[in-house]
Structure 1
Amino acid sequence: MRLLFITSNRLGDAVLSTSVLRHYVETNPGIKVTVACGPVAAPIFEAVAGLERIIEMPKQKRGAHWWKLWKSVAFHWWDIIVDLRGSATAYVLPGWKRVVLSGNDDDLHRVEQLGRLIGIDPAPEPFVWTAPEHDKRALELLPFDERPLLVVGPSANWIGKTWQPERFAETIGKLRSVGGVLEDAHVLLVGAPNERDASEPVIASIPENRRTEIFGNEHLLTVMACLRRADLYVGNDSGLMHMAAASGKPTIGLFGPSRDEHYRPFAKWGRAVRTDWSYDKIIENRTSRFSKEVLMDTLPVDKVVLAAEELMAEYRMEEGTHG
C-alpha cells in the first residue's frame, strides 16, 4: 500500500498534520509513505515509519511547484492520496482513495478538524518520529544527571506573538529558584537560526553551566529527541511549541495575537496560557496590521508561573500513580 501525503510549508501546521499521517501509518502496517511539503517542514518527516521519499516544494511563481510535484508522482499508483493544502492535485493523480482538506472550520481546533476529515473521533495526537542517531545526539547535548530539564522557546516567526525577553527570564528564574517547581533545572533554549539575537537577553539570564542552546544548529529531529527528555516546555505559539506538545511532555504555549482555540498545544499535557486581553481585543488595539510591536503585554509572569506549577503538579501526580 502506498500513501502520498501532501502537507504544509510551515513547521507548526506540518507538525499538526502528523495526526493524520500517524493514523494511516499505525493502521496500515507496511505502508510506504511519500511526503510532499515545504523545505522548512521537510526534516520532521525524515524518520517516518515506511518513508520512501520526501518531495520538497519551495513556493514558485504561478504555482510551478504544483506542476513539479505532479511530474514527480503522476506515474505511480497511490492507494491513498491525502492533500491537506486543498489543491486539485489529488484529483489529477492515479489513485484509489482521496482525502482533501477544502478549508478551515473555525469552530474547531485544527487537529480536531483533521480528525473529522479522516473520520476519527477523538483525533489522534500529533506525533513526530525520530531515529536512533537523533536520540544519541540528544544524550550528547544534554547533561545526564538528576536535574530537571526546562525547555524554553523564547522566539517566534512574528514579533507580535513574542513574549518579552525579560518576562521569559523572570519566569525561568522563578521556576528554577529554591523551592521552585523545577528547582536548579538545566535550561535548553530553542529557536530558529535568525532568532538567537532576539533571544540573547533570555540566554544571558541563565548561568552558562546551566544552559544549552539550539538555534538551528542541530537537526529538527534532534530537537525532538531533546524535547522528549524535558520535564516542561514553555514557549511562544510556534512550530517548536507544537513539536513540544507532540513529545508527550508537559507543554505551555503562550498566546496573544493568535487563536488558542485553533492552535493550542494539542496533547494531554498541553496547555495554552493567553494574555488577559482576548485575540479580538489585541487585534482591534494594535497600531496597524503591519506593525512590528510586541502584542503580548497583558500576559503577566505570575500567570505563566502558576500555570506551570499547576500543570507539573497534575503531571507528577498521574505519573506517580502509574509509576
Structure 2
Amino acid sequence: MKILFVTSTRIGDAVLSTAILRYIIEKYPSASLTVACGPLPSSLFEPIPGVERVITIHKKAFSIHWISLWATTVTQSWDLIVDLRSSAIAFSLRAKSRKILRSDKKTSDLHRVEELASLFNLDNPPAPKLWISNSMEDMGQKLIPNGSPIIGLGVTANWMPKVWPSKNFIELIQRLTRKGKIFSGKRFAIFGSTNERDIAMPVIQGLTDTECIDLIGKASISSVTACIKRCSFFIGNDSGLMHIAAALGVPTIGLFGPSPAERYGPWGDHCQSVVSSESYHALIGKKDFDHRSSANLMNGLSVDAVEKATCELFDRIKGSASG
C-alpha cells in the first residue's frame, strides 16, 4: 500500500500532524509512506516506521513548489493521499482514496489534534508522537551527558509577542531551584536557533547559580529533539519546541498569550497550558494590534501562575508514576 502524506512547513504544525500519521501507521502497518513537508521538520519524519521517503517542499514564488511536488510524485499510483495543506495536489495525482483537510467553522475552534482526527472521523484523537533513531540518541548523549535530571527551557519563539520576558524565566527558575523545591539540584538545557541567541542570552546569563547547557544554535532539529527526549520536564513558549517535548512524552508546560491555547496547547495528560490574564481575543482585538509589531504581549502571564502550574503538573506526574 502506497500512501502520500502532505503536511506542514512549520515545525509545530508538522509535529501535531504526527497524530494522524500515527493513526495511519497503526491502521496500515505494512504501508509504504511518503511524507512531503517543509525543510525545517523534514528530519523528524525520517525515523518514523514505514516512512520510505521524505520529500522536502521548498516554498517558491507563485506556488511553483506544488508543481515540483507533483512532478516528483505523479509517476506513482497512490492508494491513499492525505493532504493537510488543502492544496490541489491530491486531485492531480492518481489515487484510490483522498483525505483533504479543510478548516471550517465547525473545526476551526477545535484543538488542532482534534481537527486532524476529524478527517478520519475519530472520536478519540491519537496523540502526536515522534520517534528517535539510534544516531539521534547518540547525538543527544553527546550534547547532554549523563548527570542530574535535565529541565528543558524553550525561551524563544518565532514571533516576539509570544516570548515570555527573560526576567520572568529567571525568577521562575530561581524560585524552583531553591533548597527543597522541585528543581533543586537539577540542570537546565536552553533551546533555540542561532538567530534567537539574543533572545535567549539574558536567561542564560541570569541563571548564574544553576548549571545551564547552552544549546542555542548548536544542534540540528533532529539532535535538538533527541536532547529534549533526555529532559525530565520542559517549560516553554508556544513554539515548535514545546510541541516536540509534548510529542516525546516529556511533561510540558506551555506558555500562552497572543496565541490560542485551546487550539495549539501542548497535547496530552502530561501537559499543561498556562494562559495570560489577558485572553487571546482581548490581546489581538486591541485597536492598535498589529501582527507585525515586535511588542511583547506576554506581560499578563505572571511568574506566580507559571510556578503554580509547574508544581501542580510535577506533582501530578510524580503521583501517576508512583501509583
TM-score, with length taken from structure 2: 0.95
Please report how far the alpha carbon of residue 106 of structure 1 lies from its aligned counterpart in structure 2 after TM superposition.
2.3
Q: Which amino acid aligns with 1:170?
A: E
Partner of 2:29: 29
Please report how far the alpha carbon of residue 191 of structure 1 lies from its aligned counterpart in structure 2 after TM superposition.
1.0
Partner of 1:126: 128
Partner of 1:48: 48
- Runs of 4+ with >3 A deviation: 285-288
Cα–Cα, structure 1 residues 208 and 170, in superposed 2: closer, same or farther, change >3 Å? closer
Q: Find the aligned partners of 1:60 and 1:314 in 2 and give their Cα distance.
A: 46
Q: Find the aligned partners of 1:5 and 1:83 in 2 and give their Cα distance.
A: 6
Q: In the TM superposition, what are the counterparts of 1:209-288 in structure 2 within 5 Å?
A: 210-285=211-286, 287-288=288-289
Partner of 1:171: 172
Number of residues of Structure 1 aligned to a counterpart in Structure 2: 320
Give SS of 2:97's match: strand
Partner of 2:63: 63
Please report how far the alpha carbon of residue 207 of structure 1 lies from its aligned counterpart in structure 2 after TM superposition.
4.1
Residues 35-60 of structure 1: CA distance to partner in whole angstroms, max 9, x if unpaired? Answer: 11111121211212122211111111
Q: Find the aligned partners of 2:43 and 2:195 in 1 and give their Cα distance.
A: 18
Q: Find the aligned partners of 1:205 and 1:42 in 2 and give their Cα distance.
A: 34
Asked if the contact 1:248–1:268 (Cα under 8 Å) also holds between the matched residues in 2, the reply is no
Residue 115 of structure 2 corresponds to residue 116 of structure 1? no
Asked if the contact 1:4–1:34 (Cα under 8 Å) also holds between the matched residues in 2, the reply is yes
Partner of 2:82: 82
Asked if the contact 2:41–2:221 (Cα under 8 Å) also holds between the matched residues in 1, the reply is no
Please report how far the alpha carbon of residue 286 of structure 1 lies from its aligned counterpart in structure 2 after TM superposition.
6.8
Where in structure 1 are there 5+ consecutive unaligned residues?
none
Cα-Cα RMSD: 1.5
Q: Find the aligned partners of 2:233 and 2:273 in 1 and give their Cα distance.
A: 13
Q: Find the aligned partners of 2:268 and 2:203 in 1 and give their Cα distance.
A: 27
Q: Which amino acid aligns with 1:269?
A: H
Give SS of 2:49's match: coil
Give SS of 1:86's match: coil
Residues 176-195 of structure 1: CA distance to partner in whole angstroms, max 9, x if unpaired? Answer: 22111111210011112211
Partner of 1:137: 139
Give SS of 1:231's match: strand
Q: Which amino acid aligns with 2:314?
A: M
Give SS of 2:231's match: coil
Asked if the contact 1:148–1:183 (Cα under 8 Å) also holds between the matched residues in 2, the reply is no
Q: Find the aligned partners of 2:222 and 2:122 in 1 and give their Cα distance.
A: 27
Cα–Cα, structure 1 residues 139 and 209, in superposed 2: closer, same or farther, change >3 Å? farther
- Percent identity over paired residues: 39
Give SS of 1:82's match: strand
TM-score, with length taken from structure 1: 0.95
Residues 90-129 of structure 1: CA distance to partner in whole angstroms, max 9, x if unpaired? Answer: 1111111111001252221010011111122211100111
Q: Find the aligned partners of 2:209 and 2:93 in 1 and give their Cα distance.
A: 54
Q: Find the aligned partners of 2:109 and 2:279 in 1 and give their Cα distance.
A: 16
Q: Which amino acid aligns with 1:113?
A: E
Partner of 2:188: 187
Q: Which amino acid aligns with 2:122?
A: I
Asked if the contact 1:43–1:221 (Cα under 8 Å) also holds between the matched residues in 2, the reply is yes
Asked if the contact 1:286–1:295 (Cα under 8 Å) also holds between the matched residues in 2, the reply is no
Asked if the contact 2:258–2:283 (Cα under 8 Å) also holds between the matched residues in 1, the reply is yes
